[in-house]
Amino acid sequence: MKRINDASREIHSTSAAGETSNQGSLRRCAPGSSALNRIGGDTGVEKLSDTDTADLIGLTADIVAAYVQNNPVPVAGLPDLIASVNSALVNVGQPKAVPLPELVPAVNPKKSVFPDYIVSLEDGRKFKSMKRHLGLLGMTPGEYRAKWGLAKDYPMVAPNYAAQRSALAKSIGLGRKAAPVPQKAPTKRKAKA
């Protein structure tokens, strides 16, 4: 918005030198006017009407004219300058798209799985099981795999720890079907005498 105010001041100063046609359009499109408020006010971007579009075209022309008067611009560069100024005016007040920073893992994903532990790609810490650590980070194993581009079969438990837990479970009988309980043969009731 500051650039528009500066450009408006520059146009006002050149308009005072005798260009009355620019003054009229400046009053119509001055910062704070309805056209600029509709473009980038606090409420966001609304669809522009025909009069707003005409106001933007007039404001664009005024800014470009003031710039060209004070700066040498090749004829071939005018369309780019006009497009640049117009897009800047249309995007006034809109939040700028912030590019997401590129994710850099703490360790190489190919070297993060060891027999006795798994290294977290988030912070480089070693864990036997990642599930609780991921819960503290607010992630599920699926989200973690998706974030770092890991395969669906990427382990969340260290291989030796998984084997140890499996052996323990088998030793206490988990994972097997229970042996069928032999049913007693039904006994016959004695008849009442």
pLDDT per residue as tens digits for the range 139-148: 999 999 999 9
97: pLDDT strictly greater than 70: yes
Cα distances (Å, whole numbers) of residue 47 to 26, 36, 44: 22, 12, 10
Would residue 127 count as lying in a domain?
Answer: yes
The rounded radius of gyration (Å) of the Cα atoms in the chain is: 36
Does residue 14 sit in the same domain as residue 57? yes
Does residue 11 sit in the same domain as residue 75? yes
Backbone phi and psi for residue 113, each to the nearest 5 degrees, phi listed first = -110, 120
Amino acid in position 110: K
C-beta separation of 59 from 25 below 8 A: yes
Does residue 10 sit in the same domain as residue 85? yes
Would residue 186 count as lying in a domain?
Answer: no
Token pair belonging to 148: 């770092």
19: pLDDT strictly greater than 70: no
Handedness of CA 72, 76, 80, 85 (dihedral sign): positive
99: pLDDT strictly greater than 70: yes
DSSP H helical ranges for the chain: 2-15, 20-29, 34-40, 50-70, 78-90, 131-136, 141-148, 159-171
Would residue 163 count as lying in a domain?
Answer: yes
C-beta separation of 39 from 89 below 8 A: yes
81: pLDDT strictly greater than 50: yes
Give the pLDDT confidence score for residue 41 in this predicted structure.
Answer: 46
Does residue 81 sit in the same domain as residue 19? yes
Of residues 172 and 37, more confidently modeled: 172
Total Cβ atoms within 10 A of residue 150: 16
Would residue 52 count as lying in a domain?
Answer: yes
Contact residues for 119 (Cβ-Cβ < 8 A; gap 6+): 106, 107, 111, 112, 113, 125, 126, 127
Would residue 188 count as lying in a domain?
Answer: no
Does residue 79 sit in the same domain as residue 120? no
Q: List the domain range (segments joined by +) for residue 130.
A: 109-171
Q: What is the CATH number of the domain that holds 145?
A: 1.10.10.1550
Does residue 81 sit in the same domain as residue 144? no
Last residue of a domain, one of 62, 90, 118: 90
Does residue 60 sit in the same domain as residue 116? no
Would residue 22 count as lying in a domain?
Answer: yes
Does residue 72 sit in the same domain as residue 10? yes
Residues 98-116, mean pLDDT to the nearest whole number: 91
Would residue 193 count as lying in a domain?
Answer: no
Longest CA pairwise span in the chain (Å): 133
Of residues 40 and 108, more confidently modeled: 108
Token pair belonging to 174: 């988990």
Does residue 7 sit in the same domain as residue 52? yes
Does residue 86 sit in the same domain as residue 157? no
Does residue 85 sit in the same domain as residue 6? yes
Q: How many domains does the chain have?
A: 2
pLDDT per residue as tens digits for the range 46-68: 566 777 888 889 999 999 999 99
Contact residues for 36 (Cβ-Cβ < 8 A; gap 6+): 4, 29, 30, 89, 92
103: pLDDT strictly greater than 70: yes
pLDDT band at 187 (very low <50, low <70, confident <90, very high): confident
Does residue 10 sit in the same domain as residue 80? yes
- Quote the CA–CA distance of 57 and 60 in Å, as a whole number: 5
Residues 159-186, mean pLDDT to the nearest whole number: 86
Would residue 142 count as lying in a domain?
Answer: yes
Question: What pTM, to 2 d.p., does this model score?
Answer: 0.45
C-beta separation of 35 from 54 below 8 A: no
